[in-house]
Every structure is written in structure tokens, then in C-alpha cells.
Chain A
């Protein structure tokens, strides 16, 4: 009987997640033509197109390459940031936590536009200054490049990594570093042998979050990459709203979802199996 209490939640879940998702999957098998629109038939044309045309392979490759680089960079910068934050004393800790998390309060669009204003072509602020100083002879390539997308995404997604690592570090015994020092460990050994292994679950779960968000990000790739450098989410958007080829867009969307789900579940399994025994 008690299970009935979860019925409203289940109905909502079915209504807004399961049914649209099923409809999207069905949509991938429908036909589409420039003049006839969507035809509710069962064909594999769209799937064949996505798997047959190297354009899509390249686009998915770019999407996951960017997501992977963003994840690695966020870990490289975010983990030390969280460690330093954790060692700060109040009130500095609170102030810098606000500095780290503050950007979350600002829209992703605004934050990404900031990068565009700084580096966008010859009129971008940084490029303008450097050009007038004669430091560079042409604008730094940032807009419509993968590098630009990676830099902007790392900036946008860093707080998630910092928060995740910070949560793991807070479970650290406050005396544990002293314990290692007393046994003769130098500062680097303490970091590598004692702190890092205990921060690892946080780095990995933060990595899963950042990877998933980077691979499915829309606003940042749309602004920095535009139409020239498409990733999965901007391609889906274009198919649905510009080309109006919904079935093709649905295939890309379903593939992105399936790949992400597999990666996230796989990574979670790995983390759990590796750390359940140790940290529980």
C-alpha cells in the first residue's frame, strides 16, 4: 500500500520524462522531406544517414573530445582550488567560496558572452589592446575554435568540480595530515599519498558531472562555436528549429543521450566498486 504514495511522483516522471523520450525514439524512425514534412512511417533512413555520413562522426568526436579535455582541465584546476579553499580559515573561506560559486548565479549566456567580448575578432577588448600594443599581429583565434569552447566551458563548469572535491575533502580527518607528517612524510608526500587518494572519489564524481554537462552544453558552444563548429546539442537545435528535420535531430539527440548515460553509469560503477570498501 505504501508504494501507492509514490504514484504522483511516478505519474509526473512518466508524463514529463518517459513519454517524451519514447516519442523522441519513435520520431527517429519517421521520414522527412523538404516539402512533405514528417511522415509517420517506420524506416531506418535517419539512422543510416547519421552512421553513414562522416560529418556526424566528426561532430560526435568533437563533442566528446571537448567534454573530455574540459573535464581534465576542470580537475587539474578545480581540485587544487578546493584544497586551498578547504585550508582557508574563516572569514576568507566564506568569501572565496562565494567568489568560486558566484558565477553560478550569473546566466551561462552572460558568462560566455564575456569571453566573446574579450576575444571576439579584432574588436574584442583583449585583442584590441594587444593589437594596439603591437604584441600580436592578428586577433588571437578564440571564436569558432575548439580551444575557445574548451576555455569557456572550463570557466563555466569549474564550480561543480570545486564543490564536489570540497565535499570529499571535508570528510578528511583534520588530524590526518599531521599524522602523516609525524610519521616522517614531507608536504608533497602528504598531498600525493594521503590527501589525493581521499579526494579522488570527489574528483571522479565531479568529473562525471562536468563531463555530462560539457557534452550536453548548449549555450556556450552556440555562442563560441556558432554554426561553423557544431557539437551534438547545437546540431540537434539546428535540425529541430532551422532545418526542421526533426527525425534526424532526434537520432542525434537519442545517440547523445545513450552515449552519456553509458559513460556516466559506467563511471559511477567504477567509482562505487573501487571505493565502497574503503569509504562506504
Chain B
């Protein structure tokens, strides 16, 4: 049996079914993302694991024991909230120390572990600051440290990077992955950002209307999407002759599907094309290799491998 197992987990609010018979097994040390648009049930699923929302039906087991029978305060899970939910009246060190205090750990041991965890997230020198005096990225690290310091069996991340700007988000993604590898905590991330999910996860669960449309490693879901929704959600895709083809798989060739270049956009490391064909508009992405590329209005032929 998996480390954490969700079995036919269901939550309905009145007649609205937020999570519909979700079954998922998460292995120890694994990083799994729940990915989907807003309202797909990913956050509700996380809240049920955390214990803040009572499931309507189904089971949650952690190492074989029934988690639904355990109070939220006793589950021992680390949670990073979208808003971070730091305690504004406590210093960084007090925030991180709170969970250890609740476990009744002695002051000396607490101080040691707080220092250790703050060093892990690179905030060692900010221990005495209040959350208000920190930047968004720093607050995010405090939230992560606060969740990790209690050595949780599972780390739950609820859109933890969505409040950061694009550049910082990328940096934090790399750092988050490194920290997760270092401590080896089983992690479940909830996100609507497919790039983030694919960059961080061992496996992703693509959710829509409360159901898991596909569960698998990111590259597998990307290359062999189970449904049209998964294909569309994980990246740009073309539907040609009923088959789904990724734009970067299409190349300009001497023969193939004939079309005219409608728009051409230069994006630094690649070119983005919209080609008008008999099958409709086809999006093509070509690496920028420095060579001359077809211009707008040019007649081209498109070819792609049979993948």
C-alpha cells in the first residue's frame, strides 16, 4: 500500500461535487502535484488531507492508518498556505518555533532546530525580524521553514509561489526542489501553473471538474495526454487530422501539410508561428538557431513525426 493513499475521496457542497471519487497513491519521498484550473477540486483535496474539510465519502490513509479519524492538530502535517498565514505578532524564529513548542520540545532543542531550519531556507540572519519586515520571497521561506521544522510526514503546499513575481518564482522553484530533495519529505503541491507542476514533480495529477483526468510523470502526461483537456492544459497543442501535435514537434519541410505563415513572433530563444492551413490555424515553435526563417506571408509545408 502506498505511503499516503486517497481512496475514492469525494466532497460535495450541496449539489456541487467538488472532488469526485479521487483515488491516488503517493509513495514515501515522492513529490506529487495536483494541477488544474481554479475550481477543479485540487485545493479541496489538499484541505481534506490537512483535515480542514471533512470528506463526504472515501478514505485517506497514511502508512496504513486511517487519517480521517485523526484531528487536524494531531496529523503532524506541514502546510504552506497561499497567503503564508505567518503569525504577524511573532518574530521569524517564534513563528518557526511555534510547532515545536506545541510538541512540547525543550527550549534548547527548539532553538537548535529553528536555527538549523532557518539556515536550510537561507534566512539564518532574519530570525529576529517580524514577518512584515520581510519581502514576499522571504516570507515564503519562513512559511516553508515553519512547515518543515516539525519534520512532517507530508508537506502540503497550497499555491505557495503564486504571490511571487515571475523571476522570483523561478528561483524559488529550483530552491524548493533542492530543499525537498535534501530533507526527503513526501510533498503534495497544489497549483494551477503547469510549468511549476512539471518542473517540480515526480508525478502530476491533472484535475478537472473534481476528477483526476491523468496521473503520471510530467513528461508522460505531456507527450501522451490521456484527454484533450490534459493536452490543452499542459501546453500549446494543435489538433491536426484529429491527432494532437505539440507545436515544437512541427518543422518546416520540403513537403507535407501546405500553408501560409500568418504571424511570426520572435521570442529570443525560439520563433512562434501561426500557419494558415487546410486544417485550420497551426501553431509552430522553432528553436532559434540563428538561421533565416520563413517570413510572414511565405508559403510553407509542415511536417511532424508520427508520435
Contact = CB atoms under 8 A, between A and B. Distances in A.
B301 to A, nearest CB: 55
Interface residues of A, number: 22
A181 B71 CA distance: 9
A277 B134 CA distance: 12
B16 interface: no
Residue from A178, A179, A185, A198 having most chain B Cβ neighbours under 10 A: A179
A198 B86 CA distance: 12
Contacts, number: 68
Contact of B73 (A181, A197, A278): A181
Interface in A265-280: 277-280
B102 A189 contact: yes
B88 A198 contact: yes
B49 to A, nearest CB: 11
B99 A183 contact: yes
B136 interface: no
Given A176-B85, A179-B81, A184-B150, A280 B102 contact: no
Contact of A173 (B50, B85, B99): B85
Given A178-B50, A179-B81, A182-B73, A278 B88 contact: yes
A167 interface: no
A134 interface: no
A184 B73 contact: yes
Given A176-B87, A179-B79, A279 B73 contact: no
Contacts of B130: 277-278
Nearest to B89: A197
Contact of B87 (A180, A181, A277): A180
Contacts of A280: 132
A189 B101 CA distance: 11
A90 interface: no
A186 interface: yes
A180 B143 CA distance: 12
Interface string A215-259: 000000000000000000000000000000000000000000000
A184 B77 CA distance: 9
Contacts of B78: 182
A183 B72 CA distance: 9
A178 B52 contact: yes
A175 B132 CA distance: 17
B85 to A, nearest CB: 4
A198 B89 contact: yes
Contacts of A173: 81, 83, 85-86
Contacts of A118: none
A55 B88 CA distance: 48
B271 interface: no
B43 to A, nearest CB: 11
B185 to A, nearest CB: 14
A280 to B, nearest CB: 6
B132 A279 contact: yes
Given A184-B73, A184-B76, A184-B103, A178 B88 contact: no
B98 interface: yes
Contact of A178 (B85, B89, B99, B103): B85
B294 to A, nearest CB: 51
Interface of B: 50-52, 72-79, 81-83, 85-89, 98-99, 102-103, 130, 132-133, 146, 150
Given A173-B83, A184-B103, A280-B132, 17 more contacts: A173-B85, A175-B82, A178-B72, A178-B81, A180-B87, A181-B52, A181-B73, A182-B72, A182-B79, A183-B98, A183-B99, A185-B73, A185-B98, A189-B102, A198-B88, A279-B89, A279-B132
12 contacts: A173-B86, A176-B87, A178-B50, A179-B79, A181-B52, A182-B72, A182-B75, A182-B79, A183-B99, A198-B88, A198-B89, A277-B130
